[in-house]
Amino acid sequence: MSMRARIIHRDDVLKIVDLLRRDREVIAAFLGRGRDSAFGVVTDENRDRVQIHVPNPHYPPKRYVFPHIERIMKLRGGNGEVRIEPTYDAPRRAIFGIRSCDVAGIWHLDRFFLGREFRDIYYQRHREALFLVNVVCTDPGCDIDEHCFCVCADTGPAARDHFDLQLMDLGGDEFMAVAGTPAGEAFLDEPIFRRGTAEHVERRRRILGEVRKHFKEMTTSWFSATVRYVSQGKILDKTWEEIGVRCLECGGCTYVCPACTCFTVRDRQVGPNEWERVRLWDACALGGFTRMAGGHNPRRAVHDRRNRRFFRKLAHYFIQRELTMACVGCGRCNAVCHGDIGMPSVVEMIRRATAPEDKMEPVEGTPAGSK
Amino acid sequence: MMRPEVAENVYLPRVAVLDRVVDEIQDVKTFYWHFEDPADREAFKSFRPGQFVQVTLFGAGEMPLSLPPSPTEGETFFTVRRVGSCTEALHGLRPGDKFGVRGPYGNGFPMGSFHGKNLVFVAGGIGLIPLRSCIVYALAHREKYRRIQIFLGARTPRDLMYRDKLLEWERSAGVECYLTVDRAEEGWAGNVGVVGSLFKKPGVEVPVEDTVAFVCGPPVMFRFVIRDLAGMGFSEESIISTLERYMKCGVGKCGHCCIGVAYVCVDGPVFSYRQIRKLGEDI
Ligand SMILES: Cc1cc2nc3c(=O)[nH]c(=O)nc-3n(C[C@H](O)[C@H](O)[C@H](O)COP(=O)(O)OP(=O)(O)OC[C@H]3O[C@@H](n4cnc5c(N)ncnc54)[C@H](O)[C@@H]3O)c2cc1C
Ligand code: SF4
Ligand code: FES
C-alpha cells in the first residue's frame, strides 16, 4: 500500500474536522429540508451534523476561492488627494467533503486564474489559504443523482489529484485516506490514522467499479465527439437555434457552475469621496454581457446561432488553452435549467443532430445511443 | 522588468495627473497626462502602438481607452468621445486632477513585421484614434516603410479628427492624406462621399502589392471598406483592424471581451481581417 494512504475508523472521521478547526475555518455541506443542502461554516453547534454522504449543494464551493461579491480595492479621490489601496480578505479555510467534480472545478479555476500571462492575486490568496478534503462519491442514494456525469467528464467519482486529503468510504467501519499534497501528508501523522493492507486497496478498487454502474447511462462517449463537432464548426445552425430558443437567459447555469469564471466590476460609494471597487459574478447568458457604446451589441445577431456558454466550454481551443475543460460534469446546470439545456442535455442534443451529418461517427447501435 | 508591487496585483491602477486638455471635434477631447510616480512613467515607456489602458475615474468607474500617442513621442494622452458616465467624468476633469491608469494591455500592431511595406490607413470618425499611434510610429521610422497613405472619412468637415496633425504629416513626412465627408458645409472644397469612394478618385493610386491596410471605424464603414479593399485585390491577411469590445478587466479574466475563440483584451485588440473572420462574429 502506498505511503500516502491510511485507514481511519468511521467514528474518527469527524475528528479531521476538529483538527482542521484548530487553525482554520472549516466549510462543510449541511442537509437542509428534503434533498436540499448548502455549504456552511462548521461551528460547535452544528459540528455533529456534518455528514460524509450528503447531496452536493447546488450553490458550488467556488465562492471560497472566487466569492460571489468581493471587494478588491478602496478608492479615495477628490481635493487633489487620492489613494488606491488593494484590499484582501482570504482567511485560512478548509472545505470538508468537497466532491471530486468540484475539486476538478477548482483545478480548472487554478488553470484559468493563475495560468497564462496575468495572475489573479485575489484568487491566488484564497486558493493558497484553502485545504481540500475530498470525499469520493460512493453512496448511490445520497452522493449521486440523475444529473451527475463526472464519469463522462473524467473527473470522478474519485478525484485523482488536486485535493489535499481524500476520504473514501470502504464500507463497514473503515475509510481510506489518501494525501494529495505535502500538507495532506503531514495530516496522516495524526494518531487517528493507521496503516492499511492490500485488502483495503482491493476493496477500494471493487467499490469504485460498483459505483460507476450507478451513473445514468448517457452521454459518456459523446463528450469528446461534441468537443470535436463544436471545434470544427460542425454544429448545424438549427441546433444552436434550438438551444438559443430554449435559453431563458436567467443565468442560473452560470450561477451554479463550479467552472464558470466571468465577472463584472463595479465601484460603489461608501462615503464622501470614497468608493470601493467590487467584483461580482457575471454570466455570458445575460443579455447585457457584451453590450457596447452606442447600443451596438455585436453578439445579439450571432448569439441566436451559437450559444456562448457552450461554445466557450466545449471548443477545443479553450480546452487546450487552459489544459482543462470548463465543465467538470457536476450536472448542476441540468438540475436548475428551466429550458432543459444543461450541459448533459446539450451534449445529447448536439449528438442527435450532428452525428447523422458526420460521416466519421456510427449512428446506430452505439452504447451511448440508447434512449 | 515590472516592479513587484505592480506585478503582484494586475487590477491595481496607478495614480495619474491631468496636464492639459485640448478640444478636438464635438464631444471629443484630448487629455494629456503623466503618472505621478516616476517609476510608473519609466515602466510605461515601452508600450506598443495599438495597445490600450484601463482608466479609473473616481466615482465613475473604469473603462478601456486606446493609446493614440506613439512610444516615440514624449507625451502620454488619450483622445476620448463623451458617451456615458466614465467618459463624462474624464471630460469634467481639470488640469491637476487625478485619476487611475493601469496597463498597457493588448497585443498592439506588429509594426516590425511591416518593414519594407506600403502602409494604407483607412479610418472613419474617431477610428483614427487607435491608428494615430502607428502613423506617428511609422513616421518616426520613415525609412523602414514605403508609401504611407491616410484615408479619413467623417460625417461633416467639423468631425474630421486630428486635422492639424494630418496637415503637418502631409507637409513634412511624405504622407498622402485624403479626406472625405458625408455632408459638405460652408468652405468645404474636398470630397463628399463614403471613405471608400476616395480609392477610385482620379489622382489617387492605392498600392496593393506589399501593402498593409489598417482599417478602423464604425461597423458599417468597416464592412464597406473591407469589400472595397477586397475588390482592389487586398488579401484577408493584409487588412488589419482593432476590435472594440465591452471590457471589464483588460487581462483575460472577466470574460466580457471574449468573442469566438479570442479574448480581445489579450489576444487583440489588433487582428487581421482573416482572424476576425475566423472568430466568426460580427465586427
Ligand atoms: C480597447 C478599447 C479601446 C478604446 N479606446 C477608446 C478611445 O481611445 N477613445 C474613446 O473615446 N473611446 C474608446 N473606447 C470606448 C470606451 O471604452 C467607451 O466609450 C467607454 O468605456 C464608455 O464608458 P462610459 O462610462 O462613458 O459609458 P457608460 O455610461 O458605461 O455607457 C455608455 C455607452 O458606452 C458603452 N460602454 C460602457 N462601457 C464600455 C466598455 N468598457 N467598452 C465599450 N463600450 C462600453 C455602454 O454600453 C453604453 O452604450 C475604447 C474601447 C475599447 C474596448
Ligand atoms: S457546465 Fe454544468 S455540468 Fe458542467 S461543471 Fe458547469 S454546472 Fe456542472
Ligand atoms: S476584458 Fe476581461 S477578459 Fe477581456
Instruction: Please tell me if the CB atom of residue A331 comes closer than 6 angstroms to any atom of ligand 2.
Output: yes
CB contact under 8 A, A298 and B282: yes
Among candidates A128, A127, A123, A148, which has minimal Cα distance to A56?
A148
The DSSP symbol for A278 reads E
Give the distance between the most distant pair of CA atoms in chain B: 57
Average pLDDT, chain A: 88
The CA B257 to ligand 3 mean position distance, Å, reads: 5
Chain A residues in contact with B253 (beta carbon < 8 A): 112-113, 118, 120, 261, 263
Instruction: Give the model's pLDDT for residue B260.
Output: 81
Peptide bond into B130 cis (omega under 30): no
pLDDT, mean of residues A282-294: 67
Domains and CATH numbers, chain B: 4-105 (2.40.30.10), 111-241 (3.40.50.80), 243-283 (no CATH)
Give the C-alpha distances (Å, rounded to integers) separating A252 from A243, A260, A344, B237, B263: 15, 11, 15, 40, 24
pLDDT at A172 over 70: yes
pLDDT, mean of residues A126-138: 97
Which residue's C-alpha comes closest to atom 6 of ligand 2? Answer: A257
Decide the pairing of beta strands B258-259 and B98-105.
unpaired
At residue A291 the predicted structure's pLDDT band, cuts being 50, 70 and 90, is low
CB contact under 8 A, B11 and A296: no
Half-sphere exposure of B133 (CA within 13 A, CB side): 28
Written as nine digits, the cell of B193 is: 462621399
Measure CA B44 to chain center: 18
| Burial state string for A115-135 with b = 16 or more CB within 10 A and e = fewer than 16 | eeebbbbbbbebbebbbbbbb
Give the C-alpha distances (Å, rounded to integers) separating A351 from A230, A315, A324, A325: 11, 15, 22, 18
Interface test with A, best of B85, B248, B251, B253 (most A CBs within 10 A): B253
Predicted complex ipTM: 0.91
The DSSP symbol for A36 reads -
> Per DSSP, what are the bridge partners of residue B241?
B215, B271
DSSP B49-67: TT-EEEEEETTTEEEEEE-
pLDDT in tens, A65-80: 999 999 999 999 877 6
10-residue stretch averages of pLDDT, chain B, 283 residues long: 68 96 96 96 94 96 96 95 96 96 96 96 96 95 95 95 91 89 91 93 92 95 94 96 92 91 93 87 49
* Weakest-pLDDT range from A3-7, A20-24, A69-73, B198-202: A3-7
* Phi and psi angles of residue A72, each rounded to the nearest 5 degrees, phi first: -110, -25
Angstrom distance (rounded) from CA B1 to CA B15: 19
- Can you tell me whether residue A265 is helix, strand or coil? strand
Give the distance between the most distant pair of CA atoms in chain A: 75
Give the C-alpha distances (Å, rounded to integers) separating A108 from A101, A226, A283, A321, B92: 10, 19, 17, 11, 43
Crossing angle of helices B163-172/B128-140, nearest 10°? 20
Residue type, A101: C
pLDDT in tens, A199-243: 999 999 999 999 988 887 655 667 888 888 888 888 888 888 888
The nearest alpha carbon in chain A to B12 belongs to: A86
CB contact under 8 A, B261 and A290: no
Decide the pairing of beta strands B191-192 and B175-181.
parallel
Residue type, A21: R
Instruction: Give the model's pLDDT for residue A283.
Output: 86
Q: Is this model's pTM higher than 0.95 or not?
A: no
pLDDT in tens, B18-42: 999 999 999 999 999 999 999 999 9
